[in-house]
């Protein structure tokens, strides 16, 4: 296999190829011959490291043999750590001892999984299992429109709810397109885009204004309780409670998209933290510790509108509830239930990281805001406060990407794309955090000296 030219390439503000990766670059070249762009999702190609061959605990290994302390964690899907023995053994046992894909009836694993999920998610009376967060969200939107007979959906600028047409708009929008029509893809019908209207996170008045502009037309408000797809914007309690009150008053559903916050921040998701119960909850990512699985749960009278219960809302998917996904979910969620110290530990390590980064930024005279919750953390290169997407329009994207790129080059894997968050898993240690902060101190000092970070 020929080794390609390793000259650095630039994608937006991201300079790549700074670390020589002959084996990884060769795999990248091979992939491009048979996979569009050499990657199966748009955010996977970051240059070096190009390809990975191993993962264990808190570490991943690239094709050239370099080990990285992993803070990307597959966009947060890896919660306990890579190749966690409890989860892997459960999957192996399911493959060995349980029926494979039959596509009819029900299995014991599916029942056990649903019983477990409804016992730990506060708002869940019934649950269905699908394969991806995008699917779960699409089902929730269809359900909301069926139940209310209304066409419109409210989402917030900067939140991401998967690739389905109804929500594929207004994520990380540039200033000139923020709050206007900003689709994530070509090929979406204008009517579908226009059926989703945009509000500002942490701004209840912006939601009220949409209800006034579209009386009795809004089926649901969908919310990432913490918009982790733009880092970690933290909601005020007043905002979350206000959404619950407003949607009830207006006859709409409130959907919590807990695909990222679910199981990561507490066993019952962020709704357990804030004490606000949505009508429907989508969840995924961390529930299978890296195995493909997601789900949708809610009140019984809503969930029984699915045609599986004789209702009129389609629920379909041959792989729904398959043995691998079910076994991984049962093992992961049971482990979290039986080890409540997991949350104390990851929250403590996350807070140590956030405090340490804040001190390093101040020490180097860099204007920035450290944010995060539980085991998540990120640095916005913008002066506080950071409450909503309007504040993120001031973020220095070049500094954000440079910090993540240089940390990755030092062996600490942080996705070098603005505004991607970082995750502490159950396999990270106190020593890992201290080593990371030592490296971050050196990187931030370099960036300050080179004029690559905004100054106080």
Domain assignment present for residue 455? The answer is no
Whether residues 206 and 311 share a domain: the answer is: yes
Cβ-in-10-Å burial (0-12, 13-18, 19+) of 146 comes to middle
Give the model's pLDDT for residue 105. 96
Whether residues 249 and 374 share a domain: the answer is: no
Give the model's pLDDT for residue 20. 80
Whether residues 136 and 20 share a domain: the answer is: no
Q: Which of 64, 257, 279, 396 is catalytic?
A: 257
Among 287, 318, 338, the domain boundary falls at: 338
Q: Residue 371: give the domain boundaries.
A: 9-82+341-449
Domain assignment present for residue 454? The answer is no
Whether residues 54 and 144 share a domain: the answer is: no
How far, in Å, CA of 400 to CA of 86, rounded? 36
Q: List b or e across 329-358, with b for residues whose CB sees 16 or more CB atoms inside 10 angstroms.
A: bbbbbbbbeeeeebbebbbebbbbbbebbe
Whether residues 334 and 373 share a domain: the answer is: no
Cβ-in-10-Å burial (0-12, 13-18, 19+) of 290 comes to buried
Q: Which of 155, 279, 285, 400 is catalytic?
A: 285
Domain assignment present for residue 303? The answer is yes
Task: Give me the torsion for CA of 424, 427, 432, 434, rounded to 10°.
Answer: 60
Whether residues 76 and 95 share a domain: the answer is: no
Among 305, 338, 371, the domain boundary falls at: 338
Whether residues 293 and 357 share a domain: the answer is: no
Which CATH number belongs to the domain containing residue 388 in this structure?
3.90.1150.10
Among 296, 314, 338, the domain boundary falls at: 338
Domain assignment present for residue 356? The answer is yes
Whether residues 140 and 253 share a domain: the answer is: yes
Whether residues 78 and 165 share a domain: the answer is: no
Domain assignment present for residue 309? The answer is yes
Structurally, the chain folds into a number of domains equal to 2
Cross-strand bridge partners of residue 257 = 282
Whether residues 214 and 177 share a domain: the answer is: yes
Which CATH number belongs to the domain containing residue 330 in this structure?
3.40.640.10
Element (H, E) at 370: strand 369-371
Q: Which of 68, 71, 160, 343 is catalytic?
A: 160
Give the model's pLDDT for residue 4. 29
Give the model's pLDDT for residue 146. 98
Give the model's pLDDT for residue 18. 60
Q: List per-block mean pLDDT (blocks of 10 residues) for the chain, which spans 456 residues.
A: 29 48 95 97 94 98 97 98 98 96 96 98 98 98 98 98 98 97 98 98 98 98 98 98 98 98 98 98 97 98 98 98 98 98 98 98 98 98 97 97 98 96 98 98 98 97
Catalytic (active site) residue 285? yes
């Amino acid at each position: 296999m020929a080794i390609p030219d390793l000259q650095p390439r630039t994608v937006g503000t991201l300079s790549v190829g700074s670390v020589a990766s002959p084996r990884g670059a060769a795999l990248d070249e091979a992939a491009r011959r048979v996979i569009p762009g050499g990657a199966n999702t748009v955010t996977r190609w970051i240059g070096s490291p190009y390809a990975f061959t191993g993962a264990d605990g808190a570490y991943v290994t690239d094709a050239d043999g370099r080990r990285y302390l992993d803070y990307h964690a597959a966009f947060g899907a890896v919660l306990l750590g890579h190749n966690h023995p409890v989860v892997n053994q459960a999957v192996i046992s399911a493959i060995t001892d349980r029926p494979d894909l039959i596509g009819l009836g029900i299995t014991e694993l599916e029942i056990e999984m649903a019983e477990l999920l409804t016992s730990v998610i506060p708002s869940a009376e019934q649950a269905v299992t699908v394969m991806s967060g995008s699917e779960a969200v699409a089902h929730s939107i269809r359900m909301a429109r069926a139940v209310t007979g209304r066409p419109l959906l409210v989402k917030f600028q900067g939140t991401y709810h998967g690739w389905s047409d109804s929500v594929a708009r207004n994520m990380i929008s540039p200033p000139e397109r923020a709050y206007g029509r900003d689709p994530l893809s070509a090929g979406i019908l204008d009517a579908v885009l226009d059926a989703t209207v945009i509000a500002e996170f942490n701004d209840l008045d912006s939601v009220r204004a949409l209800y006034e502009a579209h009386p009795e037309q809004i089926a649901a408000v969908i919310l990432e309780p913490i918009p982790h797809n733009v880092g970690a914007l933290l909601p005020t309690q007043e905002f979350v409670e206000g959404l619950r009150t407003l949607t009830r008053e207006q006859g709409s559903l409130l959907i919590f998209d807990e695909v990222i916050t679910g199981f990561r921040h507490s066993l019952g998701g962020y709704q357990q933290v804030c004490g606000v119960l949505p009508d429907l909850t989508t969840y995924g990512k961390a529930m299978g510790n890296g195995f493909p699985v997601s789900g949708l749960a809610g009140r019984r009278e809503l969930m029984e509108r699915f045609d599986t219960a004789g209702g009129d809302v389609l629920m379909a998917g041959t792989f729904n509830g398959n043995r691998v996904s079910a076994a991984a979910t049962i093992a992961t969620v049971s482990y979290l239930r039986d080890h409540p110290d997991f949350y104390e530990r990851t929250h403590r390590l996350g807070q140590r990281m956030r405090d340490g980064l804040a001190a390093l930024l101040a020490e180097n005279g860099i204007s920035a805001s450290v944010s995060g919750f539980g085991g998540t953390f990120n640095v916005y290169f913008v002066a506080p406060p950071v409450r909503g997407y309007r504040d993120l329009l001031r973020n220095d994207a070049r500094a954000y990407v440079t910090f993540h790129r240089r940390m990755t080059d030092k062996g600490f894997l942080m996705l070098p794309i603005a505004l991607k968050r970082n995750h502490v898993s159950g396999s990270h240690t106190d020593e890992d955090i201290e080593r990371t902060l030592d490296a971050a101190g050196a990187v931030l000092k370099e960036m300050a000296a080179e004029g690559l970070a905004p100054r106080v």
